[in-house]
Amino acid sequence: MTKASELQTLIGQEVGVSRWFALDQARIDAFARLTKDEQFIHVDPERAKATPFGGTIAHGFLTLSLASAMSMDAVAPLDDLVMGVNYGFDRLRFLAPAPSGSRVRGRF
């Protein structure tokens, strides 16, 4: 696929898989500082041990914010596309926690 006009023919098909992205505590802490979401379940490993998660977890919005990097990694650039914009999401849910130290990747 090299042209935006070809995208329509690929609906329902997987077109790429990104590399793995680490969700280590340093990345989680940096995201917490940046977004001012410093809940203990994200930034306090000792206190988070007592939760049902058993440790710190990544912010749902941290995993979501990696979607752009994942898509750039997984899908080849299109020759006739000047730029892309994020149009948004319908019915977005975070179905499972992502523990500190885990990895995520995108499938497109």
Strands 102-104 and 21-23, by their bridges, are: antiparallel
Burial of 28-46, coded b for 16+ CB within 10 Å and e otherwise, reads beebbeeeeeeeebbbeee
**Rounded mean pLDDT of 67-92?**
90
101 falls within a domain: no
51 falls within a domain: yes
**pTM value surpassing 0.85:** yes
* Owning domain of residue 54: 20-73
32 falls within a domain: yes
89 falls within a domain: no
> For residue 1, what pLDDT band results from cuts at 50, 70 and 90?
low
8 falls within a domain: no
Asked whether the predicted pLDDT for residue 5 surpasses 90, the reply is no
Residues linked to residue 103 through DSSP beta bridges, in sequence order? 22
Domain count, the chain: 1
41 falls within a domain: yes
Interatomic CA distance for residues 108 and 19, integer angstroms: 12
Query: Residue 20 half-sphere exposure, CB side, CA atoms within 13 Å?
Result: 6
CA-closest candidate to residue 56, choices 68, 70, 45: 45
Q: What is the pLDDT of residues 6-21, one digit of tens each?
A: 888 989 999 999 999 9
The CATH number of the domain holding residue 25 is: 3.10.129.10
- pLDDT at position 50: 98
- pLDDT at position 93: 97
Q: What is the pLDDT of residues 33-60, one digit of tens each?
A: 999 999 999 999 999 999 999 999 999 9
Q: What percent of the chain has pLDDT over 70?
A: 99
63 falls within a domain: yes
Interatomic CA distance for residues 57 and 104, integer angstroms: 13
52 falls within a domain: yes
Give the residue carrying structure tokens 């710190």.
56
